[in-house]
């Protein structure tokens, strides 16, 4: 199969030396690019034929999944190329997608190019959003260039990122002291619970983890970058990132502060960039496989970049981690490199 490629990145190539998280508006959240038709056709096939590999949702995530579907559909009403009706949405490529309430994540996966991961606190605990200044401060603390908290999956960082992380011991010690001094707690409220999930991968509730930590409660993940949805489901973020060398206890606290600080209607975004040997968008990998994988040379023929956003849902309080994937030939990156 020929790789599905974009012609260019719509943002400067990320500089991993600098904090990369920044605010965006809800209107800037969802993107349509020149690879839309081809990527969406692949997403349709994956959801139809590999449903158990790309969809998962635990028993408690249905309310958040339904809320996310409603938020996305509302955004698409004003998005060029979409036609939103009462029971279906027509995409820019002309494909009609029925708004099936029994499969909200599958519908989401067929509406837009973004993948979506739901991050929730066990028991529906929601920390009251902090001030905008606190959110920005937490964003700078977590935005070390290795992903939003080193990305959700094990494949988000590079060997260069890990080397830089190891070289920053003194800076991390100072940051650790600041983090201890600035650690905050806030009031929690209990959010609504939902019924049983019918989608593939359903079943268990959030696994054990640090009190108040977000867990991966559901996702539609058609374009995994070297990680496995089934392996990461129901894990708290600290365990999700266990294979990532630079995701230590300090980073985990920073990321948790960031997630707690996000405010509804005020998304945050960043981007990463990693060399790839192939142009495969669907590239799942278990942690064991990732450990055996040889390092990818920086001059590999493809460059994969993810535009990652964090969005707080106002009703359930769930945090949405969305991923828009760009794949380019290395030669086409040109002066962006």
pLDDT digits (tens, 9 = 90+) for 285-297: 999 999 999 999 9
pLDDT for 198:
37
In this structure, are residues 270 and 308 in contact, taking their beta carbons and an 8 Å threshold?
Answer: yes
Specify if 193 maps to a domain.
yes
Whether the predicted pLDDT of 239 surpasses 60: yes
Specify if 1 maps to a domain.
no
Specify if 14 maps to a domain.
no
d(CA 300, CA 242) in angstroms, rounded, equals 26
Q: Provide the domain limits for residue 181.
A: 22-336
How many other C-beta atoms are found inside a 10 Å radius of the C-beta of residue 127? 21
**Helices and strands of the chain, counted as H and E runs:** 12, 13
* pLDDT tens string 81-116: 999 999 999 999 999 999 999 999 999 999 999 999
Highest mean pLDDT among 36-50, 206-220, 223-237: 36-50
Of 162, 143, 161, 116, the residue nearest 271 (C-alpha): 143
How many other C-beta atoms are found inside a 10 Å radius of the C-beta of residue 190? 11
d(CA 216, CA 206) in angstroms, rounded, equals 8
Q: Is 201 left (phi over 0), alpha (psi -120 to 50) or beta?
A: left
Average pLDDT over residues 21-31: 96
Q: Which of 188-197, 199-208, 215-224 has the lowest mean pLDDT?
A: 188-197
pLDDT for 4:
98
Structure tokens belonging to residue 165:
């992380």
Pairing, β 83-84 against β 55-57? unpaired
d(CA 31, CA 40) in angstroms, rounded, equals 13
How far are the Cα atoms of 13, 54, 80, 315, 316 from residue 99, in angstroms, in the given order?
36, 19, 19, 20, 20
Domains identified in the chain, total number: 1
Specify if 9 maps to a domain.
no
Task: Match 């409220």 to its residue by tokens.
Answer: 189
Structure tokens belonging to residue 20:
């990369």
Specify if 291 maps to a domain.
yes
Specify if 308 maps to a domain.
yes
Whether the predicted pLDDT of 263 surpasses 80: yes
Whether the predicted pLDDT of 123 surpasses 80: no
In this structure, are residues 226 and 244 in contact, taking their beta carbons and an 8 Å threshold?
Answer: no
Specify if 172 maps to a domain.
yes
Q: What is the mean pLDDT of the chain?
A: 79
Instruction: Give the pLDDT band of residue 152 (cuts 50, 70, 90).
Output: low
Instruction: Give the pLDDT band of residue 241 (cuts 50, 70, 90).
Output: low
Whether the predicted pLDDT of 207 surpasses 80: no
Share above pLDDT 90 across residues of the chain, in percent, rounded to a whole number: 59
pLDDT for 16:
61
Whether the predicted pLDDT of 188 surpasses 90: no
Task: Match 């998005």 to its residue by tokens.
Answer: 79
Specify if 325 maps to a domain.
yes
pTM of structure? 0.79
């Amino acid at each position: 199969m020929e790789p599905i490629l974009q012609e260019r990145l719509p943002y400067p190539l990320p500089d991993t030396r600098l904090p990369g998280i920044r605010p965006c508006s809800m209107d800037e959240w969802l993107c349509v690019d020149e690879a839309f038709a081809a990527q969406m056709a692949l997403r349709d096939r994956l959801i139809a034929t590999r449903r158990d590999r790309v969809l998962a949702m635990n028993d408690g995530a249905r309310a958040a999944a339904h809320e996310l579907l409603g938020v996305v559909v509302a955004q698409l009403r004003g998005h060029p190329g979409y036609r939103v009706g009462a029971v279906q949405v027509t995409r820019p490529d002309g494909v009609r997608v029925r708004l099936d309430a029994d499969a909200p994540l599958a519908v989401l996966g067929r509406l837009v190019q973004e993948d979506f991961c739901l991050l929730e606190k066990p028991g529906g605990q929601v920390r009251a959003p902090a001030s905008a200044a606190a959110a920005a401060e937490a964003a700078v603390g977590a935005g070390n260039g290795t992903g939003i908290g080193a990305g959700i999956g094990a494949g988000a960082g590079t060997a260069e990122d890990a080397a830089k992380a190891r070289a920053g011991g003194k800076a991390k010690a100072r940051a650790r002291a600041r983090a201890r001094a600035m650690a905050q707690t806030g009031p929690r409220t209990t959010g609504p619970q939902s019924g049983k999930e019918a989608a593939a991968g359903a079943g268990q509730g959030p696994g054990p983890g640090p009190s108040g930590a977000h867990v991966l409660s559901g996702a539609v993940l058609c374009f995994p970058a070297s990680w496995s949805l089934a392996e990461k489901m129901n894990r708290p973020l600290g365990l999700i990132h266990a294979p990532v060398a630079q995701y230590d206890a300090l980073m985990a606290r920073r990321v948790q502060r960031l997630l707690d600080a996000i405010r509804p209607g005020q998304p945050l975004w960043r981007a990463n960039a990693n060399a790839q040997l192939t142009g495969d968008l669907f590239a799942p990998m278990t942690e064991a496989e990732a450990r055996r994988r040889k390092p990818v040379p920086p001059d590999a023929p493809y460059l994969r970049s993810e535009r990652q956003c964090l969005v707080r849902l106002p009703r359930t309080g769930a945090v949405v981690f969305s991923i828009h994937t760009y794949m380019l030939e290395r030669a086409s990156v040109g002066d962006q490199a």
